[in-house]
Amino acid sequence: MKKFCRSMALLLPMLALLLTSVPALTAYAADSQTEKTLVLGTSAEYAPYEFHKTINGRDQIVGFDIDIAGEIAKDIGAKLVIEDMSFDALLPALQSGRVDLVISGMTPTDERRQSIDFSDNYYQSKQVLMVRAEDKDRFNTMDTLEGEEIGAQKGSVQEEIARSIPGAVITSLDRIPDLVLQLQTKRVNAVILEDTVAIGYLQDSALALAAATPDDAPVQAAIGIRKGNKELLAQVNATIARLQSENRIAEMVEHASQLSIDKPKSSGNIFATFWEYRNYYALGLGYTLLLSALGVLFGFIIGLIISLVRMSGVRAISWLGTTYVEILRGTPMLVQLMIIHYGMALTLGINFTPLQSGIITLSLNSSAYLAEIFRAGIQGVDRGQMEAARSLGMSRTLAMRHIILPQAFKAVLPAIGNEFITIIKESSIISVIGMADIMYQAGIVKNITYKGLSPFIIAAAIYFVLTFTLSKLLGAWERRMGASDHR
């Protein structure tokens, strides 16, 4: 017990030091960046607009949207910074000031114009219907789509078109590769997307374009800019006008289309896929470990404090602790993440990085569960222990530190270990805001290789190794702490 208490006495100051240093650690890039930057928000799975590509052994986000953004940054004398996120997160990111502009093949609809401003149109395309090859002749008119299962990107114009089809059963997902996978596995019978985007997928002999055309009118693409930013809007329009006069956009589209068609030749062996893209998974593993470790540490501290607050005996303070626990346990972690990452920026102007938002969300969510675990452990210690300590002249605080808490921690160690393992797995949620963890990297590998399953099997194997190793380490620690019980 004495060794345990000494370890805790050393650990808590170290955690406090980490708590004060993390904001500086996670924001070091922003603080050290003195040059002017232009932050671009995009959803890099929409080839040839924007997509991930391995070039010279490095993962890069390329596409003609990225080329246009590079020209805009050059014209205003700024460095282009790319933030990759899901398509439906682009507008909140722009409104909250996390990004300066959005370029993602976005159509300037009337509904979107109510929230953001749009530049002049820079490209137009038409909508097509992609189906399995055997169904190519089945869907020859729009009437044949009635009552069918149709896929479309969430929050897109294609989703609106799908909703206009009578009786259609719509599957809306964030990413186009996921929709194509739905089509290949016969969960939907057709996917609505732009003809430019369909090019990259039509090399698969199992896929084809249907004769039915969802939308006869060409669809325009424009650049989204935060409301009221007239100066940036004028600069963007000037760059678009210059590129169009020089016929540069058409050249960019042709180059990006060729890049998207040029798919890597990869072995069907899952082990070969892992080895080929090991650098992606290694980067994701690093971020996952950092997220989980800091989430565990800060959740441990906050949870212990909340449990003591709930047991303070002061009704008002105890009520606050109870409210904290019930709210965090009663709401989904994804909602908490959105509130911290986007809500704080919209309401209070506090812009956390994806890493900071992930650490805060994991810490707060975990602390609510750990608080209840600690409370159960403390209440499980016989009351006579506290009475005996007080009768020996120890203060309540001293007795709690040296007598009650060591016994409580020992009793609830298995439950704490289970919570730590849960945090590692739930850290995958942070990928939705662009955190480059294991799941995010698996999505990139899927987009590059056009393999729908093996990248995620690799990710699952990595998570299993992490959680299995942690459970064995915790088991060894538990046995060591319990050795004194058999003396």
CA distances in angstroms from 81 to 58, 73, 249, listed in the order given: 17, 9, 21
Q: Which residue has the tokens 């690799």?
A: 458
Peptide bond into 48 cis (omega under 30): yes
pLDDT of residue 216: 63
pLDDT of residue 482: 65
Domain final residue pick, 239, 263, 287: 263
Residues 228 and 247 in one domain: yes
pLDDT of residue 213: 82
Number of folded domains in the chain? 3
Residues spanned by the domain of 68: 35-123+221-263
pLDDT confidence of 337, banded at 50, 70, 90? very high
Q: Which residue has the tokens 């990595």?
A: 462
* Burial (0-12, 13-18, 19+ Cβ within 10 Å), 382: exposed
pLDDT of residue 79: 93
Spell out the residues 6+ positions from residue 48 whose beta carbon is closer than 8 angstroms to its own.
63, 64, 196, 197, 199, 200, 253, 256, 257, 259, 260
pLDDT of residue 487: 47
Q: How many CB atoms lie within 10 A of CB 206?
A: 10
User: How far is residue 212's CA from residue 138's CA, in Å, rounded to a whole number?
Assistant: 9
Q: How many CB atoms lie within 10 A of CB 161?
A: 20
Closest CA to 432 of 29, 85, 1: 85
Residues 467 and 423 in one domain: yes
Q: How many CA atoms lie within 13 A of 129 on its CB side?
A: 28
Q: How many CB atoms lie within 10 A of CB 213?
A: 14
**Exposure b/e, 116-153, CB count within 10 A at least 16 = b:** bbbbebbbebebbbbbbeebbeebeebebbeebbbbbb
Residues 204 and 277 in one domain: no
Residues 212 and 227 in one domain: no
82 φ, ψ to 5°?
A: -105, 125
Residues 287 and 374 in one domain: yes
The CATH number for 153's domain is 3.40.190.10
pLDDT confidence of 266, banded at 50, 70, 90? low
Could you please report the per-residue DSSP string of 308-366? HHHTSS-HHHHHHHHHHHHHHHSS-HHHHHHIIIIIHHHHH-----HHHHHHHHHHHHH
Residues 356 and 462 in one domain: yes
Residues 246 and 308 in one domain: no
Closest CA to 418 of 362, 367, 474, 360: 474
pLDDT confidence of 86, banded at 50, 70, 90? confident
Residues 94 and 132 in one domain: no
Percent of the chain, pLDDT > 70?
A: 89
The CATH number for 283's domain is 1.10.3720.10
pLDDT confidence of 4, banded at 50, 70, 90? very low
Q: What is the pLDDT of residues 376-429, one digit of tens each?
A: 887 777 777 777 777 777 777 777 777 777 777 777 777 888 888 888 888 888
Residues 7 and 19 in one domain: yes
Average pLDDT score over residue span 186-202: 85
User: How far is residue 265's CA from residue 262's CA, in Å, rounded to a whole number?
Assistant: 9
Residues 303 and 410 in one domain: yes
Q: What is the pLDDT of residues 88-119, one digit of tens each?
A: 888 988 998 889 999 998 989 888 999 999 99
User: How far is residue 104's CA from residue 94's CA, in Å, rounded to a whole number?
Assistant: 12
pTM, two decimals, is: 0.69
Q: Which residue has the tokens 């975990």?
A: 366
Residues 113 and 153 in one domain: no
Residues 412 and 347 in one domain: yes
